[in-house]
Amino acid sequence: MAEQTALSGAAVLSLLDLTRKARHAESARELGFIAVNDSHALAPYRQAALWLEGSGVYGLSGVLQVEANVPYVQWLDKVCRAQAEAGHTAQRLTAAELPPALGAEWAEWLPAYALWLALPGSAAGAGGGLLLARDLPWTEPEIVLLGEWLDAWGHAWRALHRPPRGSLRALVARRRGAADDSRPWWRRPLLRWVTGALLLAALPVRLTVLAPGELVPAHPAVIRAPLDGVIDTFHVQPNQTVKQDQPLFGFDEALIQARLAVSRQAQATAEAEYRQAAQQALSDGRSKAQLALLTGKIEERRAEAAFVEAQLARARVLSPRDGVALFDDPSEWLGRPVSVGERIMRIAEPGDLEVEAWVPVADAIPLAPQARVSLYLTASPLSPVEAEVRYVAHDAVQRPDGSYAYRLRATLVGDTDHRVGLKGTAKLSGRWVPLAYWALRRPLASARAYLGW
């Protein structure tokens, strides 16, 4: 009993030593050499052969280089292949267990008793096994011990042939392992991850874009310059409440007054010439012909004077309605020449507001009528202003920063306490789309613009 215990302890120590050597092997050839030569420390044998399905006879005991064309190696390849195809894991072999054609040559190549040990799992992606042969029958303890050793050796072999993480070989090996998994599909981690990713990609979300926005008057009265001239004075201040017909600003009237005086003097001169010609016509028939010409001249001078008088009246601009005067700093307008039609200010009702947003060309998503718009004001980001799309401009307009954008106007859903002119970010809500489209819309558009497909 003590001798068997000592032998068992020695066998375990040998197994640990072989396992350590297998773990530290630096190449497949070194690992194969350990399998066919150093396994002798666990159980004595005369000949050993390592066979791999993808490579055939990979290693022989006592031989550094295997010659695949010699008869011995070819016969061993057939024997090992027959055992692998039969699915044997640990099989005692004699000539009687082989097909007659192979068993007839047994005595020529191997001792009487052999042992076939299949590699556990896969080795380098292929099946294989270790064939040991000797003159004595194999005992059960030896088979168990050699099986443990081959299991550790197979682990070292797979670690040596494991592809780098993230490489194409690693991906193919993982896919192959998933395909060979015998568990139900709902229990396979890879398929569960793929199914979860597909479900997440198909999750419907609202297609939204962001655009710079502002609160603007919905229906303002635009006050434009009625004539060419220089603004002389402002009668109101920015954001001041005004009444209808209240003076807003006035032009410099000095030039207009001078032109009016000249026009009136020219009219008076024409009328004096007419009276003189009328007196001469009483005694001179030729003077009667000049009366019609002088009458036309009087009408011309009278029209010029009336036009200048109208310009003088327009030089004093009045408010067309009640509201709030919206314009820039008056000091920037005083003394500046303006042209006819140039916008000076706007008169807007205090509660008549709507949202104006500028949608970049890259974010011009389809928006249905009355699509929802949320304006997050910079001054009050926690209380968005809700609105519904009223219209989206057909043509893009160049912005001050050089980019192009579409003008969008949205009607407020309810009342708001915010004043006109406050700026922020408008969130435009479009149709429902899959999450994958929502995430890939901009990258796909950029790739298409870059690649041209």
What stretches in the chain show pLDDT beneath 70?
1-8, 121-126, 163-188, 281-289, 452-453
Question: Which residues are within 8 A (CB) of 218 and not within 5 positions of it... i.e. 6 or more apart?
Answer: 348, 352, 353, 354, 411
Residue 167: inside a domain, yes or no?
no
Q: Are residues 286 and 318 in the same domain?
A: yes
Question: Which residues are within 8 A (CB) of 22 and not within 5 positions of it... i.e. 6 or more apart?
Answer: 31, 34, 152, 153, 156
Boundary of a domain, candidates 131, 161, 191: 161
Q: Are residues 18 and 117 in the same domain?
A: yes
Reduced to 3 states, what is the DSSP secondary structure of residue 307?
A: helix
Tokens read off for 286: 């030729």
Q: Of 83, 79, 90, 84, which Cα lies nearest the Cα of 145?
A: 90
Q: Are residues 408 and 270 in the same domain?
A: no
How confident is the model over 99-114, as pLDDT tens digits? 888 888 999 999 999 9
Q: Are residues 251 and 317 in the same domain?
A: yes
Residue 56 — left, alpha, or beta (φ > 0 → left; ψ -120 to 50 → alpha)? Answer: left
Domain tally, the chain? 3
User: Any idea what DSSP says for residue 411?
Assistant: E
Reduced to 3 states, what is the DSSP secondary structure of residue 271?
A: helix
Residue 336: inside a domain, yes or no?
no
Tokens read off for 392: 């989206």
H-helix or E-strand spanning residue 290? helix 285-314
Q: Are residues 45 and 155 in the same domain?
A: yes
If you search the block for the tokens 């556990």, which residue do you land on? Answer: 120
Decide if 331 contacts 231 (C-beta within 8 A). Answer: no
d(CA 17, CA 213): 76
If you search the block for the tokens 């709507």, which residue do you land on? Answer: 354
CATH of the domain at 380: 2.40.30.170
How confident is the model over 430-445, as pLDDT tens digits? 999 999 988 888 888 8
Q: Of 392, 384, 388, which Cα lies nearest the Cα of 358?
A: 392
Q: Are residues 382 and 291 in the same domain?
A: no
Boundary of a domain, candidates 130, 145, 161: 161
How confident is the model over 223-234, as pLDDT tens digits? 999 999 899 999
pTM of the model: 0.54
d(CA 378, CA 359): 18
Q: Are residues 250 and 398 in the same domain?
A: no
H-helix or E-strand spanning residue 396? none
Q: Are residues 4 and 153 in the same domain?
A: yes
Boundary of a domain, candidates 110, 143, 161: 161
Domain that holds residue 294: 227-323
CATH of the domain at 21: 3.30.450.80
